[in-house]
Amino acid sequence: MQQNRRDFLKWSSLFGGLALTPMQLSSNLLKTSPMVTKWAGCNVNCGTKCPIKVHTQDGVIKYVSTDNEGEDDFNTRQVRACVRGRSSRYKVYNANRLKRPLKRVGKRGEGKFMPISWEQAFDEIASKMKEVKEKYGNESFFITYATGTTGTIVNRCTSGPWARLLSLYGGYLNNHNTYSTAQISNAMNFFYGGSPASDIATLRSAKLAIFFGANHVETRMGGGGIGYAYHKALEESGCKIIHIDPRYNDSCIGHCDEWIPIAPGTDAALIAALAYVMIKENLLDRKFLDTYTIGFSENTLPSDAPKNSSYESYVLGTYDGIEKTPEWASKITKIPSRRITQLAREIALTKPCFIEQGWGVQRHSNGEQNSRAIATLACMIGSIGVEGGNTGCRTGSSKTYDIMGMPFKNPIKDSIPCFLYTDAIYRGKEMTDLSDGVRGTKQLKQNIKFIFNTAGNCLTNQHSTIKEVDRILRDESLCECIVDINVTRTPSNNYADYILPDATMLEQEDFIRPGAGYYSDRPYIIYCQKAIEPVGEAKPIYEMCIELAKRLGIEQEFSEGKTQKDWLKYLYEESMKKNPLLPSFEEMTSKGLVKFDPVKPVVALEDFIKDPINHPLKTPSGKIEIYSNELAKMQKTWKLREGQQIVPIPVFESQREGILDPLKEKYPLQFYGYHYKGRTHSSFWEIPQIRETNPQEIWINPIDAQARGIKTGDVIQVRNDLGIIQGMAKVTPKIIPGCAVTPQGAWAKYENGIDVGTCVNSLASIVPTAISKGNGQHSILVEIAKV
């Protein structure tokens, strides 16, 4: 009897949970259409772009599976989506799903809206665009940095139809950098002239691997991504693996030989001490340093550099009078001095040695220096340009295939660091190249007055000091119109004047570009075949832009008479001219997923190491610049905020709200937000099933918890001068004493001034870093107490 009830409930759920009788069920079973399977893809910004199979019946998604084609072999591996990608059905049918255009009726930020027609939305938005253009000029338009839809050709949040529309309408203010990689990208540009990295698959040739804050297993965990390649390479190499991280992350499980906990933001101090041991014990690869780098030692400094300004002089103390001994570094990093000495010898004597850093290392107020220091370690041992070695950058893919995006040419060249968009709202015309990292102009011509925020939650939730952002966005005299385009309601679109409902990747046709993901040495292309019609009145953004283009008088220039599928065919076939290995458009659209044979894994800077004369780097000297000529110039000319500095060599810089900050007397715990399985940034937090299996917890070490009377499961508050967040405690030795963490990307939810949504950015400073003007959001000092 109980089994019959379970069977009844199972079949009942198939029909939307209706309480059907067995006779009705039998009747409906005879009427239903056969199951239809379509390919689609997960295009959020985890770093991997995985395909999914969407199984529909009568136009309704019944379940989602993933790639099951291929053998149980790495070279013919299946590109299997993780739990996040497989949860796509719950995004489509989410209770929070946007189904009609909405217009704000309350004060901005209150989250009060009324439904309106598409015609009214397009008419009013186009009218406001004309008004703003006439009043302030095109420099007042801005497309925010966003990553909710990345890698697609048409349905792209920043470089797709919206960029094309505004470019044809006269242009808009650009942005550069990313919230993910601002510091490391700029640091590596000064160091290498780019961010060269070996494919993770080359790790199979290493004898030792050192990972600084790298966590591929959680952040790149899709079956097509480099998390799987990381595991496979380690199985083949058998090399020793050491993870240096404040947190025992999931990449440490299974293969890691040693976890070395480190105080957050102190990596440059550790590298200096490793260098000290290598110098004193003659363990450096001097030939490599003298041949390929400038500025490590005095004899390779540029001719106009001051005496004793080399990295070696810094390490030995002739630079500032402080020897960077293991004992000196131990007090800062909290790593025993004896282990630092042993580690230096191990790294120098074991070759090839694979050096890599994740992106958490650079997400500090001194992030640029941390990143450059780790790259310097790779140079000191000559572990660059060889199989099994790496540059110290985060590894990526061996890219060989890609597809063109929608063409556009923005006539406006002015660009701001994306993290300073709030500054550009209230003081845009004051922002300059030397004070704010503005590019393309000496000084901005206008404040931001009109924002398009597409598939993004950086408007508030992923920004910093959320209460300050709230104050800026609520002031309607500053930014006069905000249009938010998304699939569901979010904390960010509470601040919109208009919300437009977007179609998901399961509801439209599009390519997911292979070059937008991290897939190691086996590339693939996904064609989303449109499994269902958009829910409610949702539209693809291309259709939205056509309607606005009509009202702005640029419809023909924008569409060129092409539908979305016409554009996909045109762009793909143009790409085929550059890469004849691509299959035909017809084959791609019919197959949905095309996997290519494995390619030779990239060894970073291999050509440069073999022939530095004919293959110079894109730095001023053509060499690796441990002493940066460009940073030396910036040191003399840039206007910095109080307490900030620019140094041509990668010195350890005591970060704001770091381990040596006097503020630690008031707020004794370092705090930051880490990336984890339950979300990609803030995406998927709207799905209850994901939240249930990946709860939002605040990790605290048993030593710190005991001193505060905290147990696992207690409700605790984390506070500093910027805000208070509240959540559930997890007491664990997987986090270093003196530090606490929580998964980043939780949706902020304020009750009586306290963020009970546990969003780490309620506590993060809005002050940008010195060099890149990026978000040093991991530099946070707090106190924690049980509620």
Give the pLDDT confidence of 288-339 residue by residue, as tens digits.
999 999 999 999 999 999 999 999 999 999 999 999 999 999 999 999 999 9
- Residue linked to tokens 């009586």: 752
Measured from the Cβ of residue 355, the count of other Cβ atoms closer than 10 Å reads 28
Q: Is the pLDDT of residue 530 over 70?
A: yes
The total number of residues shown for the chain amounts to 787
- Predicted confidence at residue 5, as pLDDT, reads 41
- Predicted confidence at residue 170, as pLDDT, reads 98
- Predicted confidence at residue 31, as pLDDT, reads 63
- Which residues make up the CATH 3.40.50.740 domain(s) of the chain? 102-172+404-512+526-593
- Predicted confidence at residue 749, as pLDDT, reads 97
Nearest alpha-carbon partner for 84 in 227, 218, 248: 218
CA–CA dist 64, 350 (Å, integer): 46
**What is 102-172+404-512+526-593's CATH topology?**
Rossmann fold (3.40.50)
Nearest alpha-carbon partner for 216 in 206, 226, 205, 201: 226
- Predicted confidence at residue 28, as pLDDT, reads 52
Q: Is the pLDDT of residue 524 over 80?
A: yes
Q: b/e per residue, 469-487, with b = 16+ CB within 10 A?
A: bbebbeeeebbbbbbbbbb
Contact by Cβ (8 Å): 377, 780: no
Can you give the pTM of this predicted structure? 0.94
Q: Is the pLDDT of residue 8 over 80?
A: no
CA–CA dist 459, 448 (Å, integer): 13
Using 50, 70 and 90 to split pLDDT, how confident is the model at 47? confident
- Predicted confidence at residue 18, as pLDDT, reads 37
Q: Is the pLDDT of residue 13 over 70?
A: no
Using 50, 70 and 90 to split pLDDT, how confident is the model at 226? confident
Nearest alpha-carbon partner for 596 in 743, 401, 465, 779: 401
Mean pLDDT, residues 565-580: 95
Measured from the Cβ of residue 258, the count of other Cβ atoms closer than 10 Å reads 13
- Predicted confidence at residue 21, as pLDDT, reads 47
Q: Which helix (H) or strand (E) holds 332?
A: helix 326-333
- Predicted confidence at residue 710, as pLDDT, reads 98
DSSP annotation of 452: E
Beta carbons within 8 Å of 481's beta carbon, 6+ residues apart: 125, 128, 132, 449, 450, 451, 497, 498
Residue 677 sits at φ, ψ, to 5 deg, of: -65, -25
Q: Is the pLDDT of residue 14 over 80?
A: no
DSSP annotation of 502: B
Q: Is the pLDDT of residue 741 over 90?
A: yes
- Predicted confidence at residue 190, as pLDDT, reads 98
pLDDT in tens, 385-444: 999 999 999 997 887 788 999 999 999 999 999 999 999 999 999 999 999 999 999 999
Helix (H, G, I), strand (E, B) or coil at 51: strand
- Which residues make up the CATH 2.40.40.20 domain(s) of the chain? 662-786
Query: Which string of DSSP letters, residue by residue, matches 243-286?
Result: EE-SB--GGGTTT-SEEE---TT-HHHHHHHHHHHHHHTT-S-H
Residue 591 identity: K
CA–CA dist 114, 409 (Å, integer): 36
Measured from the Cβ of residue 130, the count of other Cβ atoms closer than 10 Å reads 14
What CATH number matches the domain at 662-786, 1.20.1280.290, 1.25.40.10, 2.40.40.20, 3.30.70.141?
Answer: 2.40.40.20
Tell me which architecture the domain covering 198-398+607-618 has in CATH: 3-Layer(aba) Sandwich (3.40)
Q: Which helix (H) or strand (E) holds 92?
A: helix 88-92
pLDDT in tens, 589-634: 999 999 988 899 999 999 999 999 999 999 999 999 999 999 999 9
Helix (H, G, I), strand (E, B) or coil at 379: helix
- Which residues make up the CATH 3.40.228.10 domain(s) of the chain? 198-398+607-618
Measured from the Cβ of residue 337, the count of other Cβ atoms closer than 10 Å reads 17
Greatest extent of the chain over all pairs of C-alpha atoms, in Å: 91
